[in-house]
Structure 1
Amino acid sequence: MPAGTLFIVATPIGNLGDLTPRALEVLRSVAAICAEDTRRSGQLLAHFGISTPLVALHEHNEDALAQRVVDRLLAGESLALVSDAGTPLVSDPGFRLVRAARAAGVRVSPLPGACAAIAALSVAGLPSDRFAFEGFLPAKASARREQLQRLAGETRTLVFYESSHRIAESLADMRAAFGDDRPAVLARELTKLFETVLDGTLADLQAKVDADENQRKGEFVVMVQGAGDDREARLSEGRRVYTLLNQHLPPSTAAKLAAEITGAPRKELYGAR
């Protein structure tokens, strides 16, 4: 018996009208749907009158379940994979299953649709010919700041996901790593009733979020323009190196060494935070 197909199906990130006709057809026709959260996906399916069985597949059981799913595919069943919202595998579980299916010679077919990162980039007005998707930053403050410091000299537009619990703290850490004047865009609750897209500098965005409690609710995509000219890139890298050295050396010594290593102006590094 020929193997079935594993369909990777994008689902709406908010507006249910964004589910494509082809996605509806596949979700109705497959033998089962692997879902990150069966309760949430069950609500989506119920809205469209779809009664296809659901199989819970998430980060905690994916390793154990992947082979069982592949066995069903090899037996001739076609299955679908969905995440809670948007395109599966984009900051969501699923890559282990896809890797196992491809290794077994199973056809894996994408059904394109909503993706918060791409939707946000399309309305941001930031350079999008080259961008780096970073997903969710670490929850721990020290790890988050370290990661942002490593990205300070990145010239591509940076795209992050963030939750309402950490949006204010993350914006503050981005200001410290990238500088107050770095252009950025904050997209919130895309395709939903209270969708907002704010732009300005990182300092502007933090001020707007701090001033309006509603801007601290929902799901966020934060986009930060990359380091611009060589001077800005050197300064960003210099700040990163200075921050690391300053943990072990006096500020003046750390600034002198960071300037020598990166070519950044020493005076602009001294006392950097």
Structure 2
Amino acid sequence: MKQGEVVVLLISDAGTPGIGGPDAELLCMDENIPVTPIPGPCGVVSALSASGLATNEYTFVGFLPRHGPSRKERLMASANEARTQIFYVLPHKFSQSLKEFSSLFGVSRYIWHILIV
């Protein structure tokens, strides 16, 4: 793959490849080899399978509360979470959300994103 050959198709009869199984250790992201999932009925799982983030345990948070104490409370719970977390963020709120995440989560957290407009 690193020599530019078009190669791999990974198919599984046990769920989405790259999510929690031994194939999650494929080192494509570490080697800068692009991964293109073919989405199924769950966009979250498709994105996670191509992210290079840990897939053995993850949390789907979805959309956060709009504002107020409940939003901050949910973000504080996420700040203490070690598992990969998946948030839905509206495109026009993306920049604001990144600032909010980094201020509460600190600089040691990795943020991988897909922006769908």
TM-score normalised to structure 1 length? 0.27
> Does 1:134 find its partner at 2:66?
no
Higher relative contact order (CA 8 A, sep 6+): 2
Contact in 2 for aligned 1:135/1:161 (Cα 8 Å): yes
Structure 1 runs of 4+ aligned residues shifted over 4 Å read none
The separation in 2 between residues aligned to 1:139 and 1:116, in whole angstroms, is 22
1:174 corresponds, among 88, 101, 104, to 101
In structure 2, distance between residues paired with 1:159 and 1:143: 18
TM-score, normalised relative to structure 2 = 0.60
Alpha-carbon distance, 1:141 to partner: 5.2
Alignment map for 1:57-206 (pairs within 5 Å): 113-140=40-67, 142-189=69-116
Counterpart of 2:53, as a letter, is L
Q: What's the secondary structure of 1:172's corresponding residue? A: helix
Counting aligned pairs with the same residue, the percent is: 35
Q: How far is 1:118 from its partner?
A: 0.6
- The aligned residue for residue 47 of structure 1 is none
> Would the alpha carbon gap of residues 148 and 155 (structure 1) be closer, same or farther in structure 2, given more than 3 Å must change?
same
Unaligned runs of 5+ in 2: 1-39
Q: 5+ unaligned residues in a row in structure 1: which ranges?
A: 1-112, 190-217, 219-273
Cα contact 1:145–1:173 (8 A) shared by 2: no
Task: Determine which structure has more spread, i.e. the larger CA radius of gyration.
Answer: 1
Higher helix share goes to which structure? 1
The structure with the greater share of residues assigned to strand is: 1
Rounded to whole Å, the distance in 2 between the matches of 1:174 and 1:143 is 15
Q: How many residues align?
A: 78
